[in-house]
């Protein structure tokens, strides 16, 4: 069983000092980057891990990534159990399920029930709150 790292708690000012303006807007203020934003990892094809920019926890893996056509990187499951939490989001007319890093709380995106097997889920994630680390090729 994977153990979740200790919680990371930062004040608003601390977040502003460690994140870019866009990372802060998306991660702390529950924003959404525009679809097909260059560099958001939607087109990333290499094997590797996607780390949270707020605490460096591996939240997503290329093994679980798929092409959803939505303009955001999409995964059918998190990297391991307990690293991503969810809550209901009522900011739009239709309630959605928001997901965030279980370690530091940064908003990641939303999860929908229209993904591929084996889970049937589509975790639609903002690339602004990720750091991609490719796996060694040898």
- Active-site positions? 124
What's the rounded Cα separation, in Å, for the pair 67 and 88?
25
Residue-by-residue DSSP string for 56-101:
--EEEEGGGEE--SSSS-EESS-SSTTSEEEEEE-SSSS-EEEEEE
The 8-class DSSP code of residue 27 comes to: H
């Amino acid at each position: 069983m994977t153990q979740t790292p200790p919680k990371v708690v930062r004040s608003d000012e601390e977040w502003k000092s460690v994140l870019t303006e866009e990372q802060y807007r998306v991660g702390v203020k529950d924003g959404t980057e525009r679809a097909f934003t260059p560099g958001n990892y939607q087109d990333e094809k290499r094997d590797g891990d996607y780390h949270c920019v707020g605490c460096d926890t591996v939240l997503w893996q290329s093994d679980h990534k798929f092409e959803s056509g939505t303009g955001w990187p999409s995964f059918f499951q998190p990297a391991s159990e307990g690293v991503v939490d969810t809550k209901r989001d009522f900011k739009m007319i239709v309630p959605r399920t928001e997901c965030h890093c279980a370690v530091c709380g940064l908003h990641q995106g939303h999860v929908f029930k229209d993904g591929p097997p084996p889970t049937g889920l589509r975790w639609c994630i903002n690339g602004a709150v990720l750091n991609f680390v490719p796996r060694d090729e040898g």
